[in-house]
A and B are shown apart, each in its own frame.
Chain A
Amino acid sequence: DIQMTQSPSSLSASVGDRVTITCRASQGISTDLAWYQQKPGKVPKLLIYAASTLQSGVPSRFSGSGSGTDFTLTFSSLQPEDVATYYCQKYNGVPLFGGGTKVEIK
């Protein structure tokens, strides 16, 4: 079975910082990868699909890249409202989420 590993599991950065989260698949999944944002007590929100396509309405400071086994979610300039847990999800075959990355403001 394919495993999805996110790193780091948590991070703390300053407002305005460029931040990158990594998601690694144990086998190649082409670009069948999505990213979600889940704020505390809220419903997950789709940010990016097909590894790099921004969902409508999502701020352009979010970007995704990668293919095969290695993927990244980048915040070009971290904002206070970005405090949340971020999940990657592969949908090449059975959907599977990564373990999540909790983002906090320093």
Chain B
Amino acid sequence: QVQLVQSGAEVKKPGSSVKVSCMTSGGTFSPYAISWVRQAPGQGLEWMGGIMAIFRTTKYAQKFQGRLTITADESTNTAYMELSSLRSEDTAVYYCARAPTYYSESYFDYWGQGTLVTVSS
């Protein structure tokens, strides 16, 4: 059974960065793409970007260009999402989600449990 296990909750100051990990178990990491989706409190789902690990290529939503870095370590079956220049509006639950293909531009069949990132001074 495929599982995506994310790192724990974070509290960050405005202007700082956060790095969240997502480890895949019970299945192969490659060739599937991993995306990051966030959900602000009481709000809907927002796709941030994704990585095609097999090709080591990334795609980001325009909104996050320049602030978001997604990486993957195939040796540990782990994907990472780093968001910089944090502001209060970045307070959200961040999910990693696996696509059933190597394209980031896909639907998502497995999801991590979510990581709450709180940005507060």
Q: Which of B59, B97, B107 has the most CB of A within 10 A?
A: B107
**A-B contacts, CB under 8 A, total:** 53
Answer yes or no: A62 CB below 8 A from chain B CBs: no
How does the 8 Å CB contact mask read for A17-51 relative to B, with 1 for contact and 0 for none? 00000000000000000101010000111100100
Q: How far is B37's CA from A96's CA once the two chains are assembled, in angstroms?
A: 10
How does the 8 Å CB contact mask read for B95-121 relative to A, with 1 for contact and 0 for none? 101000000111111011110000000
Contact B105 A43 (CB under 8 A): no
Contact A91 B112 (CB under 8 A): no
Residues of A close to B104: CB separation below 8 A: 95
Check A95/B35 contact, CB under 8 A, given A44-B95, A55-B109, A89-B107: yes
Residues of B close to A93: CB separation below 8 A: 105
Interface residues on A, range: 20 to 34
Contact B45 A91 (CB under 8 A): no
How does the 8 Å CB contact mask read for B19-61 relative to A, with 1 for contact and 0 for none? 0000000000000000101000000111100100000000101
Determine how close the nearest CB of chain B comes to the CB of A32; give it in whole angstroms.
Answer: 8
Name the one of A36, A43, A49 contacting B113, with C-beta atoms under 8 angstroms: A43
Q: How far is B109's CA from A43's CA once the two chains are assembled, in angstroms?
A: 11
Determine how close the nearest CB of chain B comes to the CB of A58; give it in whole angstroms.
Answer: 11
Contact B47 A96 (CB under 8 A): yes
B residues touching A (Cβ–Cβ < 8 Å)? 35, 37, 44-47, 50, 59, 61, 95, 97, 104-109, 111-114
A residues touching B (Cβ–Cβ < 8 Å)? 34, 36, 38, 43-46, 49, 55, 87, 89, 91-100
Nearest 6 Cβ contacts at the A-B interface: A34-B107, A95-B47, A97-B45, A43-B111, A49-B107, A100-B44
